[in-house]
Chain A
Amino acid sequence: MSNVLVVADHRRGELRDVSFELLTAGRQVADATGGDLHAAVVSGDVEEFGDQLNREGVDAVHTVANGEEFNHDVYVQATEALAADVDAEFIVLPNSVNGLDYAPAVANRLDRPYVSDVIDAAYDGGVLEATREMYGSKVETTVEVADGPFVVSIRPGEWPAAEGVGDASVEAADVDIDDSQVRSTVTGFEEVGGGDVDIADAEFLVSIGRGIEEEENLELIEALVEATGATMSSSRPIVDNGWLPKNRQVGQSGKQVTPKVYLAIGISGAVQHVAGMKNAETIIAINTDPNAPIFDIADYGIVGDLFDVVPALIEEFGGDAPNV
């Protein structure tokens, strides 16, 4: 019998969705090992969070009241102490930005193997078989972790959220945080972007990615936007290059958008990008690579060169395509 510990993710007073997905993933491991599922929540309104985490399949919820927001020094200490307290052999954490900031340290401190960004898992006869992606989602791999304890982080959005109301005990954990070991301080939060346009309000987004190759070539997309009355957005590399402002970025670290039509041009469809646009009503993709992941979620696809298709599309709508 091996117990499982999951640690919830929250921000600015709300549990994040991945917290409830962790419960499902954790229950899966606990079922395979015959152990109990322990959920923990650290910092913030832990009583309220604790009640919300009491969903079906959870055996116990442990709360650690210490500060308001995520601090990795606190989370590492709390997770380490709780793992010992509840005798947790397996620790399941989120592969969120905050997960990236403390899960590897937890694994290191407990001297356990760390498997990150897992999208599926099976546990059989003492062996964890984790599914991960490599080479920018071009391949999937099965990674085995033999013989016991591990720390895994799961990719948000891959497990269904645990539902229903559970009958777990929700109790304050007996964990002392050593403040002398807290050597970083969160001093605030800021919304980025702002600016002239809110792409989250747009009905028709023409979104551009790495396939545009050069900044000068954006002229072509500007002409399409003008001819169609669309709003321009982009994937991360375009903003990283400084070709468009941050408020145009769609994705995990940018904006979440839900337009009527999302036309993705030269965007391969990395998971971080898809996280921001998969709820568009209709997704249309233009890409030269027929295996690009964007086609997996597209309703309409054009396998072709944007430098041929876009000028022809501009002309369809009576515009003038610039020479790029």
Chain B
Amino acid sequence: MKVLVTVKEVAAVEDDFEIAGTEIDDTYLEYDLNEWDDYAVEEGVQLSEAGDDVEVVTVTIGPERAEETIRMALAKGADRAIRVWDDALEDAELLDVESKSKILSAVVEAEDPDLVLSGVQASDDSFGGTGVALADEVGFEWAAVVNSLDLDVDEQVAHVRRELEGGVEELADVETPAVLTIQTGINEPRYASLRGIRQAQSKEIDPQSFDDLGLDAAVADSALEITDMYEPESESDAQFLDGSAEEQAGELAGVLRDLGVVGQ
């Protein structure tokens, strides 16, 4: 069985930052593996540990710099990685759901996995649509916001739970091959061991261009364009308690007593 896990290197913004045009200057960004994808990788690795002959392959769309992040997934137990990049992507300001799902669909067609795991969303652009759009593009079934997976390989069905709003979970059976978008909390992602990190150095990261995947450069064209980026204006009318920590705590204690939730 083959499990394909889509992973993304995401940018996190420091507390203080500056916006230059429609971007945040690179000096204020830190790169890391997308949190949701970390859970998806763990789910894939757990499947490979539970079953015989399960290969876990990760795929990312990203420049060479992203390899550092991808190696974390390899260090945690993924068998190999594919990194898609192309000159056409260098100039693309915003890669929308349509572009990403079309690029990833070429990889799905080449790899022919039994299951695709993807994070629910990426913490930087937060579109939350690539997994489901990818499933539709390749004709796989899918389930979004999955927080429990019980895969029945023989019956070709994934028994999943989907985390709905308000503390309600939906139980659903999904035919495989399928794309599942993975919610945080489905498992406990492992830390990469030193041994894993060493082993990851020798694992393959296969670079793939649009040519390799039979894609046209136009796939990088986005119908969406970011025309403005700004810090939201604070709507705060909070009364701030100032002073040293002791003074702040003293004032807060007074507030809590006044509100009547703590005894005198």
Residues on A lying within 8 angstroms of B by beta carbon are 11, 72-73, 76, 95-98, 100-105, 107-109, 113-117, 129, 132-147, 150, 183-193, 203-204, 228-230, 236-237, 239-242, 246-247, 249, 252-256, 260-261, 263, 282, 284-285, 289, 291, 295-296, 298-305, 308-310, 312-313, 315-317
Pull 28 A–B residue pairs with CB atoms less than 8 Å apart, ordered by A.
A101-B162, A104-B132, A105-B135, A105-B136, A116-B129, A117-B127, A136-B123, A139-B230, A144-B225, A145-B224, A185-B172, A190-B161, A204-B256, A229-B263, A240-B184, A255-B167, A261-B259, A299-B238, A300-B239, A301-B239, A301-B241, A302-B240, A304-B248, A310-B249, A312-B248, A313-B253, A316-B252, A317-B253
Measured between beta carbons, the chain B residues less than 8 angstroms from A187 are 171-173
CA distance A114 to B234 in the complex (A): 28
CA distance A133 to B15 in the complex (A): 16
Chain B interface SS verdict (over half): mixed
Lowest 9 A-B CB distances belong to which pairs?
A: A312-B249, A104-B129, A308-B245, A113-B223, A240-B185, A316-B253, A142-B228, A204-B261, A101-B144
Let me know if A138 and B13 touch, CB within 8 A: yes
Let me know if A191 and B167 touch, CB within 8 A: yes
The stretch of B45-53, B94-102, B107-115, B207-215 that contacts the partner chain: B94-102
The verdict on A302 contacting B98 (CB below 8 Å), with A109-B136, A139-B24, A144-B224 known, is: no
Closest-by-CB residue of A relative to B145 is: A97
The verdict on A138 contacting B256 (CB below 8 Å), with A188-B171, A192-B169, A302-B248 known, is: no
Does B125 reach chain A (CB closer than 8 Å)?
Answer: yes
Let me know if B256 and A134 touch, CB within 8 A: no
Let me know if A139 and B133 touch, CB within 8 A: no
Candidate in B13, B101, B136, B227 with the most chain A CB atoms within 10 angstroms: B136
The verdict on A184 contacting B141 (CB below 8 Å), with A285-B238, A291-B15, A295-B234 known, is: yes
Let me know if A228 and B262 touch, CB within 8 A: yes
**Number of residues of chain B lying within 8 A (CB) of chain A:** 83
Let me know if A114 and B133 touch, CB within 8 A: yes
Does B11 reach chain A (CB closer than 8 Å)?
Answer: yes
Let me know if A113 and B224 touch, CB within 8 A: yes
Closest-by-CB residue of A relative to B253 is: A316
Q: Mark B4-44, 1 if CB is under 8 A from A, else 0.
A: 00000001110101010010100000000000000000000
Does B235 reach chain A (CB closer than 8 Å)?
Answer: yes
Closest-by-CB residue of A relative to B94 is: A143
Closest-by-CB residue of B relative to A306 is: B245
Does B202 reach chain A (CB closer than 8 Å)?
Answer: no
Chain A interface SS verdict (over half): mixed
CB of B54 to closest CB in A, whole Å = 23
Measured between beta carbons, the chain B residues less than 8 angstroms from A296 are 234-236
Let me know if A11 and B11 touch, CB within 8 A: no
CB of B108 to closest CB in A, whole Å = 14
**Residue from A147, A192, A230, A313 in contact with B249 in the complex, judged by beta carbons closer than 8 Å:** A313
Let me know if B164 and A104 touch, CB within 8 A: no
Let me know if B239 and A312 touch, CB within 8 A: no
Let me know if A113 and B262 touch, CB within 8 A: no
CB of A64 to closest CB in B, whole Å = 19
Candidate in A97, A236, A246 with the most chain B CB atoms within 10 angstroms: A97
CB of A181 to closest CB in B, whole Å = 10
**Residue from A116, A142, A255 in contact with B127 in the complex, judged by beta carbons closer than 8 Å:** A116
